[in-house]
C-alpha cells in the first residue's frame, strides 16, 4: 500500500468585516445542487405557465384626424407648429372618454357578464382543449364547450358588481343564487323575476350541474376596464393618424369593441361639426309655424279690409314706402337668425355680438323713421299700407325661413367631419401574450437568482464553526479535524434498516473495525498522537469527552478513539457516562443492563459492569438502566473509587459524557478526569455556544485541553478559508 497526500491551502485569514469573494464563490459551488434544483423548478413552472396561460390577442384600427382650418390666412402655418400635438392629445382623450366608451358599453351590453366557473389554475387550459367537445362538469366546474347568453339581466342596486351563480339543471331549466340563497328559477327563453332580479336567458348549453358566474357590473367600472386595455397613439409627429389597439382573450369581442369605439368617435365628430347647423335648423323649425300663422292672419285681415272699403290699389308713394318697410323687416329677420348662430359661439359682450346688436338697432331706427312717414297719408291708405306691410313682411320672412331651413338641412346632411376611419379593427394572427420563450427565460433567470440568494443566505445564517482558525481565535487548541465519513453514514443506514436481532454486534458497527482505512479513523490516529503528548502532564490517564450540545458525535469519537488506542496495543476502558440517553451499547454490540448506573446504585458488581469486547485490549462499561438521578450517582464515592481502580488497571480510560449545556454531569466527571476534550460539529456548533461551554467548565474548575472538530464537510468554501489535508490509500505499483 502507498499513501498519496494532497494539500490545499491559501494561508490567508480574512477579517470578519471583509467580503471574501473566494469564499462566496465556494459557497455557490457547494450549493450547486440547490441552485440546479431551484432553477430547474422555476424554469418548469415558467414553462407550465406559458403553456397554460390564456392567450391574449390584440386588435388594431387606424383613424385619420384632419387638421382644423384657422380661417385666417397665414395663421394656419403657425397653428400647425404649436397646436398639432395638443390637438392629437385632445382627440386621444375624446376617444377614451366616457362619452364614447359609455356608448360602446351600452351598445354591446357589456355590463352583463355570464361565464362558466372553471377549475383554479388549470381550468381555462382544459376548457380550451375541450372547446369543441360536448360539455361536461365535475363538482360544478365546466371542462369546455359550455355556452350561455343572457338576453336581459336587471338587479337591485345592492347586487351591482356582486357575483351571482347560475346552476344548469337540464332541459333548459336553471336556478340563480346569491350567497347560497336562491333568487329565482327559470327556463331558457322566458323572462323570470324574483327577489328584485329580472333575468332572461337566451341560450344555455351545458351539462346539468354546471355552475355559471353571472354579474351585473357598474357602467363606470366597465368603462374603466375598457380604458385600461385600450391604447391610442399618434403615428409619427403631427401626422394626424391615430392608431387604436385593444387587447383581450375573446377575439370576437375585442374586434367588436374596437369597431364600435371607432364608429362612435366618428359619429360624435360629425355631430360636433354639424351642431351649429342643427341648432339653427331647430330654431327655424320652432319659429316657422308661428310665422305661417301670422302670415295667414295678415292675409285674412287685408282681404276683409279691401272687401269692406272696396279698395284695391295703393298710390305710388305708398307702394314705395311699403317696399322699404318690407326690406327693413327682412334684414331685421336675417339679423335675428344670425344672432342665434352667433350666440352659440360668443358671449353677449364679445365684439362680434356687439356689432350685431348695433346693426340691428340702426335698422330698427330706420324702420321707425319710415313708419313715421306713413302717418301723413290718408287714413284708408294708412290702414291698407299697414295690412299690406303685415302680409308682405310675414310672407317674406316665411319664404326666407323656408329657404334657410332647406339650406341648413342640406348642410347638416352633407357634413362629413374631420375624422375618417382608414382601417377597421382586425386581430393579429398571433397572440401578443404570453410570450412563451421570454417567460421561460425570465423564470429561469429568476430561479437562478433566487437559488443563488438562497445558498448565500443559508451560508450567512449558518453560524456553525467552519475552520480551526475560528476555534484557535478564542484560545482553544484544535487537536484533530475529523472529516465526515460516507462509509459511517452507510453503516448507520444499514443498521437502521435491519431488524434489531440482525443488527451488527460485537463491535462490528464500529467504523474503526469495519473500515480501518477511512479518513475519519486516520484523523483519530492523529488525535492519538496529540493526546499522548497532551496527557503527559495530566494528573491521571482518565480522558473525558463531552460536547456543547447533543448530536455532535461524542459517542462516535469516544468509541472509535478507544478502538484505535486498543489497536495500538494499549489497554483501554470505554465508559458510557451518559446515563440519560446513552446508546453506545448499540455501537459496541453489548447489552445496556448491569452498567454504570447499576454499579453506582449498588445493583451490580464491578465485574458484571465491565464487559469484554471483540477488540483485544478494549473493555466497555455501558450506561445501565436509566436512573432518575444520574448527577447524584456520579457524586457518590463509588464513582471515584471506580475511576481510581480503572486508572490503575488500564492504560487509558475514556468517558463519554452528556453535553455540558444540557446537564451538569460533565462538570462532575471532569473534576475526576485528568484530561477533558470538547467535541464540536463542523458547520453546526456556533462559536458562542462553544465559548459558553468552556466557561461552564471553567466555572467548575475544569480546563478544556482542546477541541475536536468533528464531521468536517469537505467544501469549496472551506478550501478558500483554510488549508485542508486529504489522505487516502491507493494501491501501489
Q: Give me the sign of the Cα torsion angle 45, 47, 50, 53.
A: negative
Q: DSSP states of 683-714 as a string?
A: TTSBHHHHHHHHHHHHHTT----EEEEEEE--
Counts of helices then strands in the chain (DSSP H, E)? 25, 24
Angle at the Cα of 27 from the Cα atoms of 24 and 30, rounded to 5 degrees: 155
Chain centroid to CA 123: 19
pLDDT bin (cut points 50, 70, 90) of residue 581 is confident
Residues 393-400, mean pLDDT to the nearest whole number: 75
**Of residues 143 and 496, more confidently modeled:** 143
The reply to whether 725 and 612 lie within a common domain is yes
**Of residues 642 and 281, more confidently modeled:** 642
The reply to whether 368 and 302 lie within a common domain is yes
- Let me know if residue 618 belongs to a domain: yes
Helix (H) or strand (E) holding 38: helix 32-52
- Let me know if residue 77 belongs to a domain: no
SS (H, E, C) 420-452: EEEEEEEECCCCCECCHHHHHHHHHHHHHHHHH
Euclidean distance between CA atoms 412 and 271, whole angstroms: 9
Residue 416 phi/psi, 5° resolution?
-100, -35
Euclidean distance between CA atoms 259 and 265, whole angstroms: 10
pLDDT at 279: 66
pLDDT at 125: 92
The reply to whether 545 and 684 lie within a common domain is yes
The reply to whether 523 and 608 lie within a common domain is yes
**Of residues 470 and 495, more confidently modeled:** 470
pLDDT digits (tens, 9 = 90+) for 226-258: 999 999 999 988 888 999 999 999 999 999 999
The reply to whether 376 and 507 lie within a common domain is no
- pLDDT over 50 at 1, yes or no: no
The reply to whether 483 and 395 lie within a common domain is no
Euclidean distance between CA atoms 537 and 698, whole angstroms: 19
pLDDT bin (cut points 50, 70, 90) of residue 84 is very low
Q: What strands lie across the sheet with 173-178, from one edge to the other? A: 112-116, 211-216, 164-170, 173-178, 181-187
Last residue of a domain, one of 188, 216, 244: 216
Euclidean distance between CA atoms 597 and 634, whole angstroms: 9
Residues 549-573, mean pLDDT to the nearest whole number: 92
pLDDT at 414: 62
The reply to whether 404 and 342 lie within a common domain is yes
Contact between 720 and 28 (Cβ < 8 Å): no
Contact between 619 and 572 (Cβ < 8 Å): yes
- Let me know if residue 391 belongs to a domain: yes
Residues 468-491, mean pLDDT to the nearest whole number: 87
The reply to whether 505 and 630 lie within a common domain is yes
Euclidean distance between CA atoms 16 and 415, whole angstroms: 82
Lookup: cell for 148: 350561455
Angle at the Cα of 429 from the Cα atoms of 424 and 434, rounded to 5 degrees: 115
Residues 32-48, mean pLDDT to the nearest whole number: 94
SS (H, E, C) 525-583: HHHHHHHHHHCCCCCCCEEEEECCCCCCCHHHHHHHHHHHHHHCCCCEEEEECCCCCCC
pLDDT at 362: 81
Last residue of a domain, one of 190, 216, 242: 216
- Let me know if residue 529 belongs to a domain: yes
Weakest mean pLDDT among 11-20, 284-293, 348-357, 483-492: 11-20
Cis, peptide link before residue 434, omega less than 30° from 0? yes
pLDDT at 9: 36
The reply to whether 383 and 487 lie within a common domain is no
- Let me know if residue 225 belongs to a domain: no
Q: Residue 524 is part of a domain; what is its CATH number?
A: 3.40.50.300
Q: DSSP states of 43-84 as a string?
A: HHHHHHHHHHSPPBEEEEEEEEEPPPP-SSTTHHHHHHHHHH
Weakest mean pLDDT among 401-405, 676-680, 694-698: 401-405
Residues 91-118, mean pLDDT to the nearest whole number: 95
Q: What is the DSSP letter of 501?
A: G
**Of residues 159 and 391, more confidently modeled:** 159
Residues shown for the chain: 733
pLDDT digits (tens, 9 = 90+) for 442-466: 999 999 999 999 988 887 777 788 8
pLDDT at 381: 58
Tell me the pairing of strands 191-194 and 173-178: unpaired
Mean pLDDT over the full length of the chain? 83
Q: Residue 369 is part of a domain; what is its CATH number?
A: 1.20.58
Euclidean distance between CA atoms 85 and 87, whole angstroms: 5
- pLDDT over 50 at 79, yes or no: no
Euclidean distance between CA atoms 638 and 636, whole angstroms: 5
pLDDT at 545: 95
- pLDDT over 90 at 588, yes or no: no
**Of residues 360 and 434, more confidently modeled:** 434
Name the residue with cell 364547450. 145
- Let me know if residue 297 belongs to a domain: yes
Euclidean distance between CA atoms 719 and 725, whole angstroms: 10
Nearest CA to 280 among 417, 401, 397, 399? 401
The reply to whether 485 and 627 lie within a common domain is yes
Lookup: cell for 687: 462559536
pLDDT bin (cut points 50, 70, 90) of residue 508 is low
Percent of all residues in the chain with a pLDDT value above 70, rounded to a whole number: 81
Domain count, the chain: 3
The reply to whether 474 and 578 lie within a common domain is yes
Describe the crossing of helices 554-567 and 519-534 by its angle, rounded to 10 degrees. Answer: 80
- Let me know if residue 486 belongs to a domain: yes
Weakest mean pLDDT among 343-347, 435-439, 498-502: 498-502
pLDDT digits (tens, 9 = 90+) for 667-684: 999 999 999 999 999 888
Q: Give me the sign of the Cα torsion angle 288, 289, 291, 296.
A: positive
Residues 177-199, mean pLDDT to the nearest whole number: 94
The domain in which residue 486 lies consists of: 468-730
The whole model's pTM is what?
A: 0.62
pLDDT digits (tens, 9 = 90+) for 155-164: 999 999 999 9
- Let me know if residue 75 belongs to a domain: no
Residue 443 phi/psi, 5° resolution?
-65, -40
Last residue of a domain, one of 164, 190, 216: 216
Euclidean distance between CA atoms 673 and 700, whole angstroms: 13
The reply to whether 408 and 531 lie within a common domain is no
pLDDT digits (tens, 9 = 90+) for 509-520: 788 888 888 898
Amino acid at each position: 500500500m502507498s499513501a498519496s497526500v494532497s494539500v490545499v491551502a491559501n494561508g490567508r485569514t480574512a477579517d470578519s468585516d471583509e467580503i471574501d469573494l473566494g469564499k462566496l464563490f465556494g459557497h455557490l459551488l457547494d450549493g450547486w445542487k440547490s441552485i440546479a434544483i431551484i432553477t430547474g423548478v422555476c424554469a418548469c413552472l415558467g414553462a407550465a405557465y406559458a403553456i397554460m396561460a390564456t392567450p391574449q390577442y390584440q386588435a388594431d384600427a387606424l383613424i385619420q384626424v384632419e387638421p382644423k382650418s384657422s380661417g385666417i390666412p397665414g395663421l394656419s402655418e403657425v397653428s400647425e407648429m404649436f397646436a398639432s400635438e395638443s390637438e392629437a392629445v385632445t382627440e386621444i382623450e375624446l376617444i377614451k372618454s366616457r362619452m364614447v366608451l359609455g356608448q360602446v358599453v351600452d351598445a354591446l351590453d357589456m355590463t352583463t357578464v355570464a361565464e362558466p366557473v372553471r377549475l383554479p389554475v388549470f381550468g381555462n387550459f382544459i376548457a380550451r382543449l375541450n372547446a369543441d367537445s360536448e360539455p361536461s362538469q365535475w363538482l360544478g366546474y365546466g371542462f369546455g364547450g359550455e355556452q350561455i347568453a343572457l338576453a336581459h339581466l336587471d338587479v337591485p342596486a345592492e347586487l351591482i358588481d356582486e357575483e351571482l351563480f347560475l346552476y344548469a339543471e337540464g332541459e333548459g331549466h336553471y336556478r340563480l343564487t346569491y350567497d347560497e340563497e336562491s333568487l329565482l328559477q327559470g327556463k331558457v327563453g322566458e323572462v323570470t323575476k324574483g327577489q328584485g332580479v329580472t333575468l332572461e336567458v337566451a341560450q344555455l348549453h351545458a351539462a346539468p350541474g354546471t355552475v355559471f358566474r353571472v354579474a351585473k357590473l357598474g357602467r363606470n367600472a366597465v368603462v374603466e376596464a375598457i380604458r385600461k386595455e385600450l391604447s391610442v397613439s399618434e403615428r409619427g409627429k403631427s401626422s394626424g393618424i391615430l392608431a387604436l389597439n385593444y387587447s383581450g382573450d375573446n377575439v370576437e369581442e375585442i374586434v367588436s369593441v374596437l369597431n364600435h369605439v371607432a364608429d362612435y368617435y366618428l359619429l360624435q365628430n360629425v355631430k360636433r361639426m354639424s351642431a351649429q347647423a342643427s341648432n339653427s335648423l331647430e330654431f327655424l323649425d320652432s319659429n316657422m309655424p308661428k310665422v305661417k300663422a301670422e302670415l295667414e292672419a295678415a292675409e285674412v285681415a287685408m282681404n276683409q279690409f279691401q272687401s269692406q272699403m272696396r279698395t284695391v290699389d295703393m298710390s305710388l308713394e305708398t307702394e314705395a314706402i311699403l317696399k322699404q318697410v318690407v326690406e327693413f323687416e327682412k334684414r331685421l329677420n336675417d339679423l335675428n337668425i344670425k344672432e342665434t348662430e352667433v350666440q352659440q359661439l360668443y358671449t353677449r359682450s364679445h365684439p362680434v355680438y356687439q356689432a350685431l346688436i348695433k346693426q340691428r338697432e340702426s335698422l330698427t331706427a330706420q324702420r321707425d323713421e319710415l313708419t313715421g312717414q306713413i302717418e301723413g297719408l290718408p287714413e284708408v291708405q294708412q290702414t291698407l299700407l299697414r295690412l299690406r306691410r303685415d302680409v308682405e313682411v310675414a310672407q317674406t320672412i316665411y319664404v326666407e325661413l323656408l329657404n334657410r331651413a332647406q339650406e341648413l338641412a342640406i348642410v347638416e346632411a352633407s357634413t362629413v367631419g374631420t375624422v375618417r376611419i382608414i382601417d377597421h379593427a382586425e386581430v393579429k394572427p398571433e397572440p401578443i401574450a404570453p410570450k412563451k420563450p421570454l417567460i421561460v427565460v425570465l423564470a429561469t433567470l429568476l430561479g437562478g437568482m433566487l437559488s443563488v440568494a438562497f445558498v448565500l443566505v443559508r451560508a450567512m445564517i449558518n453560524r456553525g464553526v467552519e475552520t480551526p482558525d475560528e476555534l484557535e481565535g478564542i484560545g482553544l487548541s484544535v487537536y484533530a479535524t475529523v472529516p465526515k465519513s460516507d462509509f459511517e453514514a452507510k453503516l448507520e443506514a444499514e443498521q437502521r434498516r435491519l431488524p434489531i436481532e440482525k443488527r451488527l454486534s460485537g463491535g462490528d458497527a464500529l467504523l474503526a473495525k469495519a473500515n480501518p482505512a477511512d479518513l475519519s479513523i486516520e484523523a483519530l490516529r492523529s488525535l492519538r498522537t496529540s493526546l499522548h503528548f497532551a496527557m503527559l502532564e495530566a494528573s491521571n490517564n482518565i480522558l473525558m469527552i463531552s460536547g456543547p450540545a447533543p448530536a455532535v458525535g461524542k459517542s462516535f469519537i469516544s468509541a472509535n478513539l478507544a478502538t484505535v488506542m486498543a489497536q495500538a496495543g494499549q489497554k483501554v476502558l470505554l465508559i458510557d457516562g451518559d446515563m440519560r440517553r446513552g446508546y453506545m451499547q448499540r455501537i459496541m454490540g453489548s447489552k445496556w443492563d448491569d452498567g454504570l448506573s447499576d454499579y453506582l446504585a449498588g445493583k451490580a458488581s464491578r465485574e458484571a459492569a465491565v464487559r469484554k469486547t471483540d477488540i483485544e485490549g478494549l473493555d466497555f462499561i455501558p450506561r445501565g438502566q436509566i436512573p432518575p438521578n444520574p448527577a447524584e450517582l456520579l457524586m457518590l464515592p463509588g464513582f471515584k473509587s471506580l475511576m481510581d481502580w480503572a486508572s490503575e488497571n488500564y492504560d487509558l480510560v475514556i468517558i463519554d459524557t452528556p453535553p455540558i449545556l444540557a446537564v451538569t454531569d460533565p462538570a462532575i466527571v471532569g473534576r475526576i478526569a485528568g484530561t477533558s476534550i470538547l467535541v464540536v460539529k463542523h458547520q453546526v456548533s456556533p462559536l458562542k455556544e462553544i465559548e459558553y461551554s468552556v466557561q461552564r467548565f471553567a466555572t467548575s474548575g475544569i480546563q478544556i485541553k482542546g477541541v475536536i472538530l468533528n464531521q468536517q464537510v469537505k467544501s469549496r468554501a472551506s478550501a478558500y478559508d483554510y488549508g485542508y489535508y486529504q489522505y487516502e490509500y491507493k494501491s501501489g505499483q
